[in-house]
Amino acid sequence: MHPAPSVIFFTAFSGLGFGLLAWLGIGLPDVTGRPAFGYYFIGYALAVGGLLASTFHLGNPKNAVKAFSQWRSSWLSREAVLSVITLLVIAPYAIGRIFLGTDWALLGLAGAALALITVFSTSMIYTQLKTVPRWNTPATPVLFQLYAIGGGALLAGQGAVAALLLLVLGAAQLLAWQKGDRRFAEAGSTAESATGLGRIGKVRLLEPPHSGRNYLMKEMVHVIGRKHAQKLRIISLLFASLLPAGILLFLPASYATVLLAVVVHVIGLLTARWLFFAEAEHVVRLYYGK
Amino acid sequence: MTTLPAKTEKKLGLVIDLDTCVGCHACVINCKEWNTSNYGAPLSDVDAYGPEPEGTFLNRVHAFEVTPEDGGCAQTVHFPKSCLHCEDAPCVTVCPTGASYKRTEDGIVLVNENDCMGCGLCAWACPYGARELDQLAGVMKKCTLCIDRIYNENLPEEDRVPACVRTCPAGARHFGDLGDPDSEVSKLVAERGGIDLMPEQGTRPVNKYLPPRPRDSAAASGARLEPVAEEPKGFLAWLDKALEAI
Ligand code: SF4
Ligand code: SF4
């Protein structure tokens, strides 16, 4: 699939933002007043920024508001609705913490749960697609959840806990890649099943339907850059998981340390998300002999 | 509404005969002509006269080569592909805006362009590459089964079929109600063993493909011509001897 920057930023930053808001919702770190403002500002900036990024990839953004209407059937619609509800539920909690110095714990808990459910619905937009076997597995929601909780813990200054979560994330990511590499073959779609000509024999594309490119090929038959996949996997594993965990565990705890770990983690996260899209193979490629 | 109807009154669709299609692309052109000048946003082209032309089409013809496993002759199959108006259309349920829907009366899958926000998720959900986001209009385009022809009383009766069906010079495309077991198209499907594309995707396509009829195969029939003479006779026999003597 085409790794469009808008969807990479959308999933990466809104995930981080909601992850941080989930930690803040359960009162970690237990801050009020000015420091609380800082944390909530970052959480909202990331979540809202990510959501805004997603609108850049719309062909007809003037209808974007209609995306709130189909929550009964569509995960994308659910994601839109849930993110707004989550931001609205956490807002009074944040105001309580920042301006009144109070902790309305139940409200915070509800907000935290909603934040994680929002991340789940984001992941389901991709997981639901049978056409992309690499995404169509429980590993996708698990990974999205771990990126949100792990990255959120990092932003929330949860030191050792964050380090541990990032290591778990690294292991899960490694496993997901390994399993993911076999998914397309396991799902069983082939040029023979796509054309129904398998009963006659082996099928190969003789002539494509058009000499130029088209929307389908640009969007779903993306193959550029896959050759660097192995290197990029190592980079993203190092940057998203091992390095920030190491920084948190072995450098003296300070804002600067956390900031360094965050920057390193974000580089790894963006690389991993680029791979998530670029490595995903859509079954329509079978009609294009790819 | 992007939930699917439990049942549709009719199942209008196409039956495409892979035995008959000659790959002339006439259906592609007539589809583009009709659908660019009638319902909805036109099907735009980009760089139409330049070095890298591309554009939106609702129907495209691929060509595949099939080689039998037993080593028989390879065979070329022209393969037109457009929306299959699936019964379990994944493109419909993923749509967040309600723009994509399946009609209860005839099962046609449509996009309401006034609601579409151009997110492209439906195109991702379709296994068959049957939806293309128009690059100029920014809305999703797909086969409408020429809904503005098939019910159009201003057209002569014989034109009330999809443009691709009307134009096919080989008669490889058939249109009708696949929900009615007695319709011409249903009979054709039963008789010729019509098939679903990528059944493992669980979309339950309405459109069916008629597989190419079995070809004669030299290996299987053993119908090789017997040699008429092993030994030369007459002039050739003399020539044979003469040449050997040299
Ligand atoms: S062929 Fe594709 S676009 Fe058409 S109904 Fe089926 S899934 Fe939807
Ligand atoms: S591109 Fe349009 S029709 Fe397709 S899912 Fe998005 S809003 Fe719905």
* pLDDT, tens only, B35-94: 999 889 999 999 999 999 999 999 999 999 999 988 788 999 999 999 999 999 999 999
Q: What is the pLDDT of residues B176-219, one digit of tens each?
A: 999 999 999 999 999 999 999 999 999 999 999 999 998 766 65
The whole-angstrom separation of Cα A60 and Cα A37 is 35
User: Count of CB atoms within 10 A of residue B12's CB?
Assistant: 25
The whole-angstrom separation of Cα A214 and Cα B131 is 11
pLDDT band at residue B3 under the 50/70/90 scheme: confident
The architecture in CATH of the region B12-244 reads 2-Layer Sandwich (3.30)
The whole-angstrom separation of Cα B44 and Cα B138 is 10
What's the confidence (pLDDT) of residue B222?
59
Q: Are strands B208-210 and B12-17 parallel, antiparallel or unpaired?
A: parallel
The whole-angstrom separation of Cα B199 and Cα B80 is 18
Helix (H), strand (E) at residue A26: none
Q: Which of A54, A56, A58, A60 to mutate to test the interface with B (most CBs of B within 10 A)?
A: A60
Inform me whether the C-beta atom of residue B99 falls under 8 Å from chain A C-beta atoms.
Answer: yes
- Look up the ipTM and state it: 0.95
For A204, residues 6+ apart whose C-beta sits below 8 A from its C-beta are A191, A289, B64, B65, B67
Beta bridge partners of B45: B55
Q: Report the chain B residue with the minimal C-alpha distance to residue A64.
A: B117
Closest-CA residue to A65 (of B33, B240, B116, B92): B116
- Of the listed ranges A165-169, B120-124, B242-246, the one predicted with least confidence: B242-246
What's the confidence (pLDDT) of residue B90?
97
Determine if ligand 1 sits within 6 Å of the CB of residue B109: yes
Q: What is the pLDDT of residues A60-112, one digit of tens each?
A: 999 999 999 999 999 999 999 999 999 999 999 999 999 999 999 999 999 99
Determine if ligand 2 sits within 6 Å of the CB of residue B121: yes
Inform me whether the C-beta atom of residue A186 falls under 8 Å from chain B C-beta atoms.
Answer: no
- This model's pTM is above 0.80: yes
Alpha carbon of B113: minimum distance to chain A alpha carbons (Å): 10
Asked whether the CA dihedral B205, B130, B103, B13 is positive or negative, the reply is: negative
Å from CA of B206 to ligand 1 middle: 10
What are the residue boundaries of the structural domains of chain B, listed by start?
12-244
Å from CA of B120 to ligand 2 middle: 6
**In B, which residues are within 8 Å of A200 by CB distance?**
66, 68, 75, 211-212
**In B, which residues are within 8 Å of A196 by CB distance?**
195-197, 209, 211
Q: What is the pLDDT of residues B223-245, one digit of tens each?
A: 667 777 778 788 888 888 888 88
The whole-angstrom separation of Cα A152 and Cα A165 is 10
Q: What is the pLDDT of residues A217-267, one digit of tens each?
A: 999 987 777 778 999 999 999 999 999 999 999 999 899 999 999 999 999
CB B62 within 8 A of CB A207: yes
The whole-angstrom separation of Cα A87 and Cα B148 is 44
For A134, residues 6+ apart whose C-beta sits below 8 A from its C-beta are A180, A183, A184, A279, A280, A281
